[in-house]
Amino acid sequence: MMTRKFALLAPLVLALPTPAFAGLSGIEQTLVTQADTDTPLAIGLLERLVAQNSGTRNIAGVKKVRDLVEPELAALGFATRWVPMDAVHRAGHLIATHKGRPGTTRMLLIGHLDTVFEPASPFQTATREGDILHGPGASDDKGGVVVMIAALRAMKTVGTLAHANIEVVLTGDEEAAGDPISVSRADLIEAAHHADVALDFEGLSVQNGQDYGSIARRSAGSYTITATGKSSHSGQIFAPGVGDGAVYELARIITAFHDQLPEPDLTFNIGLMAGGATVTMAPDEAQIGATGKTNIVPPIAMASGDFRALTESQIDRVKDRMIAIVARHLPQTDAQIVFHEAYPPMAPTPGNQALLDRLNAINTDLNLPVMPALDPLKRGAGDISFVARYVDGLVGLGPSSRGDHTPEERVDLSSFPRQIKRAALLMTRLSKETSRH
């Protein structure tokens, strides 16, 4: 009888369907299916968002994008609020909160509503090119916002969102943060103090067909150098009472930067420079001009540039070296350097790597290749950098694209399904872990 029972069961076992993704639980497999089903809906939302200009300084336009996004989050059970940023001459931030099971991981999701394309830009419309959408902000970051919403919608449909503790912060000025930063990023930083992890929905980095995860971003800061000297007829240049003039002093400093500052993970640049009898620089440092003559030793010269570093300690070290170089001076000259901070660094940390490891476990379960950590020199600064010192983070959960920040911006629509799945599965699994708060 025993032999016969096993003989009858054996065909039944062989007849059971093989799971599409053996590493996924049953509900996770349903989540994956739902992500595929919802992709066309996500693309439709993206097209509506891209059709609305939301250049950072187009305050009304940013608010119109908010009006398209806010109902999507509210429909998923998020409590939403708008934080005006009139004080820093920006539109504001959309913040949405979902309360799940007490004591579980608190997730901070980061994206932005604005783009670099202001209303005066000729690049205003979207064009569908097969699996490509060519349009302003199609990737950065309207595509990222859409992936975020689609992942949350899939979770809602299968029931895994119910237990998730999530706060969404969609800034309205990521491309040109309002000044002072202490005001424009106060709400984002406050959210980080209550979070266990931060997930940034800017674009996926793809290099030579390989998807990469980003666990580090360099800082973005600028500086202005002002050199002064004694004005005189050019025939007296280098004379003891006249000295070398402001332009040679500025050239000395820039050359010393070139020769003495280089080190791994650091870049520095001079973007604008002028010298003469007078020099004027626009408040936003976007323009600089000079007046004078070729036969006058210039009394003033100015230059502005930026530098990017991977850690706070590197920033401090490089600044000290720059200050020391500026302080040396050629005869009869003086100089000063003023630093303007913008985006802090997101240094690589074990916690960030652990998040990428979690994502790679999902890649394995989805039969996708493992994602190496991206070289931070290949990724610019972003909003997650403001919270990196407070919370572990992962960047690049949005779609892949090319030509960001240019009229050639094109988002790869075929990347949406896998990014939606990755995000939905990662948030579902994180929602089951214990919070450290």
Residue type, 175: E
pLDDT (average), residues 48-60: 97
Half-sphere exposure of 260 (CA within 13 A, CB side): 16
Farthest-apart Cα atoms in the chain, separation: 115
Angle at 100 between CA 145 and CA 422, to 5 degrees: 40
List, for residues 117-136, the tens digit of each pLDDT value.
Answer: 999 999 999 999 999 999 99
> Is 90 exceeded by the pLDDT of residue 315?
yes
Question: What confidence tier does 52 reach under pLDDT thresholds 50, 70, 90?
Answer: very high
Helix axes 142-158, 26-50, angle to 10 degrees: 140
The CATH number of the structural domain formed by 220-343 is 3.30.70.360
CA dihedral 390, 354, 342, 272 (to 10 degrees): 160
pLDDT band at 369 (very low <50, low <70, confident <90, very high): very high
Q: What is the arithmetic mean of pLDDT over 366-381?
A: 94
Segment 35-52 mean pLDDT: 95
Whole-model pTM?
0.89
Residue range 232-269, pLDDT digits in tens: 999 999 999 999 999 999 999 999 999 999 999 999 99
Residues facing 227 on adjacent strands = 301, 335
Query: Domain extents for the chain?
Result: 21-217+346-430, 220-343
Angle, helix 26-50 to helix 416-430, in steps of 10 degrees: 130
Short-list 191, 187, 168, CA closest to 178: 187
Q: What is the CATH number of domain 21-217+346-430?
A: 3.40.630.10
What six digits make up the tokens of 218? 């360099």
The pair of structure tokens assigned to 55 is: 């250049």
How far apart CA 225 and CA 326 sit, in angstroms, is 8
CA–CA gap between residue 71 and residue 90 (Å, rounded): 22
- In this structure, the dihedral spanned by the alpha carbons of residues 91, 92, 98 and 99, taken in order and rounded to 10 degrees, is -160
pLDDT at 186 (0 to 100): 97
Sheet holding 392-395, edge to edge: 79-85, 90-98, 165-171, 106-112, 197-200, 392-395
What is the full DSSP assignment across 348-369?
--HHHHHHHHHHHHHHHHTT--
| Beta pairing class for 90-98 and 165-171 | antiparallel
pLDDT at 11: 37
Task: Report how far Cα 392 is from the mean position of its chain's Cα atoms.
Answer: 15
Instruction: Dig out the tokens for 170 from the structure.
Output: 């969609």
**What stretches of 210-304 show up as alpha helix (H) in DSSP?**
245-260
Q: Where would I find the beta strands (DSSP E) of 267-353?
A: 267-276, 278-281, 288-291, 296-297, 300-308, 334-343
For the stretch 184-207, pLDDT in tens is: 999 999 999 999 999 999 999 999
In this predicted structure, the answer to whether residue 4 has a pLDDT above a threshold of 80 is: no
Give the whole-number percent of the chain exceeding pLDDT 90: 91
How far apart, in whole angstroms, are the C-alpha atoms of residue 272 and residue 37? 50
**The pair of three-digit structure tokens given for residue 113, joined into one six-digit string:** 């509503």
